[in-house]
């Protein structure tokens, strides 16, 4: 069934595992993620970014996920990833989304608090949990490019104040991950994450997990990460599998390469679920 991220993340926090949050771009990717969750008996979060919501509407993506979730025996939440504005958060909630992120990380601390608080107050009315971000995840997410050298890590004291003043349900932290793939092996600031976890009691979120070694993901989960976001690797696996089929010029049926992409994403998501430790939890 369709659920909010509230209890998914609190259960993960209590059980010391994380729920994978998987970015989808089409119906096949939605099917793949939910099939992987069913076969692994794992809770799931499916999410779309603002650029994905320009490709097709929130209500269209929501209809696909709702239909799949309704006939599934695992809990599935539908989340707005990197929500860009108050209006956008309201729009997806009206479309049926059960969770939103407002990303004010590019704003000043006070402006970030203001916009986040406003989203929390409104989302609260429909019992929709809100994720927000403090500090900057590196790399490119959607159209917004962050220079690695400008990427500011989350300050633990600031994080505590931010959570208290906004009333958010989960906090995305910047500890050295970046969106997309990495040039070398990313170095995560685990000491900082441990400090954040010590003084912030709500579930923490890791962005930019594509390209992060499995051990580093596991270690961050042991330090309070309850939601891990995977986007780029799903797109890469989908497209690589399609491309292999499409080298044959006789292929004309979209079902043929769509099914290959879907299978590849499903296998990848099953592996990520094992790294998150959410298998067998439902």
Residues designated as active site = 81
Site for ligand 13P in 49-108 (CB under 6 A): 81-82
Q: What track of x and - describes contact with ligand 13P for positions 145 through 184 (by CB under 6 A)?
A: ----------------------------------xx----
Q: Residue 5 or 35: which CB sits closer to Zn ion?
A: 5
SS3 of the chain: the string is CECCHHHHHHHHHHHCCCEEEEECCCHHHHHHHHHHHHHHCCCEEEEECCCHHHHCCHHHHHHHHHHHHHCCCCCEEEEEEEECCHHHHHHHHHHCCCEEEECCCCCCHHHHHHHHHHHHHHHHHCCCCEEEEECCCEEEECCEEECHHHCCCCCHHHHHHHHHHHCCCEEEECCCCEECCCCCCCCCCHHHHHHHHHHCCCCEEECCCCCCCHHHHHHHHHCCEEEEEECHHHHHHHHHHHHHHHCCCCCCCHHHHHHHHHHHHHHHHHHHHHHHCCCCCC
User: Judged by CB under 6 A, which of 2, 44, 209, 242 binds ligand 13P?
Assistant: 209
Query: Binding partner of residue 99 among Na ion, ligand 13P, Zn ion, none, CB under 5 to 8 Å per kind?
Result: none
User: Judged by CB under 6 A, which of 115, 229, 258, 276 binds ligand 13P?
Assistant: 229
Binding site for Na ion (CB under 5 A): 208, 210-211
- By DSSP bridging, strand 170-173 and strand 144-146 are unpaired
The answer to whether 273 contacts ligand 13P (rule: CB under 6 A) is no
Which window, 54-62, 120-128, 229-237, 245-253, contacts ligand 13P (CB under 6 A)? Answer: 229-237
Q: Residue 22 or 162: which CB sits closer to ligand 13P?
A: 22
Contact 59, 95 (CB under 8 A): yes
Q: Residue 181 or 248: which CB sits closer to ligand 13P?
A: 181
> Could you give the CA distance from residue 223 to residue 216 in angstroms, rounded to a whole number?
11
User: Judged by CB under 5 A, which of 79, 117, 192, 207 binds Zn ion?
Assistant: 207
User: Judged by CB under 6 A, which of 88, 232, 258, 270 binds ligand 13P?
Assistant: 232
Q: What track of x and - describes contact with ligand 13P for positions 101 through 140 (by CB under 6 A)?
A: ----------------------------------------
Minimum distance between the CB of residue 36 and ligand 13P, rounded to whole angstroms?
Answer: 16
- The site for Zn ion (CB under 5 A) is made up of 207
- The site for ligand 13P (CB under 6 A) is made up of 23, 81-82, 141, 179-180, 207-210, 229-233
């Amino acid at each position: 069934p369709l659920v909010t991220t509230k209890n998914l993340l609190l259960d993960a926090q209590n059980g010391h595992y994380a729920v994978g949050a998987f970015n989808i771009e089409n119906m096949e990717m939605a099917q793949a993620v939910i099939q992987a969750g069913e076969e692994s008996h794992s809770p799931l979060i499916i999410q779309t970014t603002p650029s994905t919501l320009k490709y097709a509407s929130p209500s269209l993506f929501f209809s696909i996920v709702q239909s799949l979730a309704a006939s599934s025996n695992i809990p599935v939440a539908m989340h707005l990833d990197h929500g860009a504005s108050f209006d956008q958060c309201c729009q997806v909630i009206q479309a049926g989304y059960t969770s939103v992120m407002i990303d004010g990380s590019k704003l000043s601390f006070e402006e970030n608090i203001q916009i986040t608080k406003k989203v929390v107050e409104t989302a609260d009315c429909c019992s929709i949990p809100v994720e927000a971000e403090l500090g900057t995840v590196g790399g490119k997410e959607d159209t917004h490019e962050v220079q690695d050298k400008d990427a500011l890590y989350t300050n633990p004291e600031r994080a505590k104040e931010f959570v208290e003043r906004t009333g958010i349900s989960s906090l995305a932290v910047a500890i050295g991950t970046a969106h997309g793939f990495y040039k070398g092996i990313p170095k995560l600031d685990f000491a900082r994450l441990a400090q954040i976890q010590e003084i912030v009691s709500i579930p923490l979120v890791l962005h930019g997990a594509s390209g992060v070694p499995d051990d580093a993901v596991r270690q961050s989960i042991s330090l309070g990460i309850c939601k891990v976001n995977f986007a780029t690797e799903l797109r890469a696996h989908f497209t690589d599998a399609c491309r292999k089929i499409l080298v044959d010029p006789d292929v004309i049926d979209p079902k043929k390469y769509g099914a290959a992409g879907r299978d590849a994403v499903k296998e990848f998501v099953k592996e990520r679920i094992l790294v998150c430790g959410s298998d067998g939890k439902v």
